[in-house]
Amino acid sequence: MGSGIALVCAALLAAAPLLASCAYTYDDGLPPLGERSPSSAQPTPRYPPQPPPTVATEPPPQEWTPEMMSSWALQTLPDSNGVSYAFGYGLVVPEQPILASAVVPSGTLFVVYTCRGTLTAHLSLTIAGTALVDTDYACGTQWTRAFVVVADSVAEVQVSATGRFPSAYAFRIVRR
């Protein structure tokens, strides 16, 4: 048995120079990495402005009726996962943010939010004057952020449109 191991080791040592000489090379037409000049192009924005996506069977959010808005918000963020302390939804237009407030208890809470109609929106959450969430987020996806409230406080949620088009928004503050 010991001689079998020695034979395998000898074979690996003999093959090592052959394996070390293998290298993948290709010609991509660019100078080697250390000789390339830095790009002078401006970085592309994270969320480049684009027209809102359109769905032929549904009007844009700015044409929704109050019943359509309510239905979308309740379907998107149902009150089924924990105790809900705040729920807000509506239409936010560019340069006209929406501010909502609610009393929240101490402990670990979650803000769940989404939007529809544009590519991105902005949400900020402030508790007792301290900003806990301040982010742009992609629409069409549900986002969740956890935060800790030290003592019963007032939560302020501000939602704004980031592009030049209105968007529907919904948020909920819950304990799970």
The string of DSSP letters for 37-55 reads: PPP-SPPPPSS---PPP-B
Phi and psi for 122 in degrees, rounded to 5?
-130, 140
> Residue 34: inside a domain, yes or no?
no
Average pLDDT across the chain, whole number: 82
Mean pLDDT of 130-139: 93
Does 37 map to a domain? no
User: Higher confidence at residue 54 or residue 112?
Assistant: 112
Residues 6 and 83 in one domain: no
Domain that includes residue 11, residue range: 2-26
The yes-or-no verdict on residue 48 having pLDDT over 60 is no
Beta-carbon count within 10 A of 68 CB: 14
Residue 55 is predicted with a pLDDT of 47
Q: Which position has the higher pLDDT, 47 or 111?
A: 111
Query: Are residues 166 and 108 located together in one domain of the fold?
Result: yes
For residues 108 and 148, the answer to whether their CB atoms sit within 8 Å is yes
Q: Is residue 43 part of a domain?
A: no
Does 33 map to a domain?
no
- Say how many domains are in the chain: 2
- Residue 49 in domain: no
Q: What are phi and psi of 162, to 5 degrees?
A: -95, -20
pLDDT band, very low/low/confident/very high, at 49 (cuts 50, 70, 90): low
Contacts of 81 (CB under 8 A, 6+ apart): 174, 176
Q: How confident is the model at residue 10 (pLDDT cuts 50, 70, 90)?
A: confident
Q: Is the pLDDT score of 151 beyond 90?
A: yes
The verdict on residue 82 lying in a domain is yes
Phi, psi of 73 (to 5 degrees): -65, -45
- Is residue 172 packed enough to be buried (19+ CB in 10 Å), middle (13-18) or exposed (0-12)? buried
> What is the reported pLDDT for 24?
55
Q: Is the pLDDT of residue 6 over 50?
A: yes
11 and 88, same domain (yes or no): no
Distance spanning both ends of the chain, measured CA to CA: 60
- Domain assignment present for residue 162? The answer is yes
68 with 140, same domain: the answer is yes
